[in-house]
Amino acid sequence: MAIVANTVSYLDQDAILEGFFAYDDGIVGQRPVVLIHHAWAGRDQFVADKAVKLAELGYLAFAADMYGKGVLGTSREQNAALMQPFMADRAKLQRRLLAALATVKLMPWADNHKVAAIGFCFGGLCALDLARSGADISGVVSFHGLLGAPTDLSPSQIKAKVLVLHGNDDPMGPVEQVIALQAELTKASADWQMHIYANTMHAFTNPVANDPDFGTVYQPLADSRSWQAMQNFLSEIFA
């Protein structure tokens, strides 16, 4: 077994984006695809590491780029400024998500009938919005994601199964938004499930998160449980 990893450039209109992909070249033929969506800082080492871990599990992993080749925030203010245009224009966000989906489907190792998406923080919202777009994919997983539905788009049929992994003490996903998301997914007749972890705040999968005043704290037990829940979910939807 050898994990092959590299970057690939792709376009969304005039925006040049750079995805990171990884796969196990010991596997012959096509394999299921897992798109990975980054947090508000941009496509960083965190999602690259997740891509490698998913490749080790036998998937073609593709860490999408929402902001542009080489664009990374280095402070809360920069991160917020990078994310905000997509929060304000969810049609633009969905178009960029679909550009990444189209790109990974062109890869020779991709089984286009078995595609899932995961995401962390802002990326969790990206995964949910890919499902909200009506994309014909198998499932999506949101890790401590932002939950609010688009207000500038009409609801589409949700074809993907949905798994939401959420911290009970996440100030960026209060109980009102949790209930609203459940109602939204139920109204859309989606196959959804939600795991809520006690004593867990935002960014619980990120080992460097340690800012309780801001609401971002690593929680190793929730990290481990959520990764296992994702593996179980992927095994189910790709069966």
Domains detected in the chain: 3-237 (3.40.50.1820)
Residue 217 in tokens = 């704290």
The pLDDT of residue 156: 83
Going by C-alpha positions, the residue among 137, 166, 164, 161 that lies closest to residue 236 is 161
Cβ contact 124:142 at 8 Å:
yes
Distance CA 111, CA 84 (A): 33
Which residues does the chain have with pLDDT short of 50? none
**Amino acid present at 213:** D
Q: Token pair of 195, please?
A: 């795991």
Report pLDDT for 126.
98
Q: Which residue has the tokens 């203010």?
A: 77
Cα–Cα distance measured from residue 143 to residue 135, given in angstroms and rounded to the nearest whole number:
20
Residue with tokens 């989606």: 190
Closest CA to 118 of 233, 239, 1, 236: 233
Instruction: Tell me the pTM.
Output: 0.97
For residue 235, what pLDDT is reported? 98
Instruction: Report how far apart, in Å, the C-alpha atoms of 202 and of each of 48, 59, 109 are.
Output: 20, 27, 34
Cβ–Cβ < 8 Å for 184, 142: no
Predicted confidence at residue 155, as pLDDT, reads 82
Among all chains, which residue has been given the structure tokens 């304000």?
88
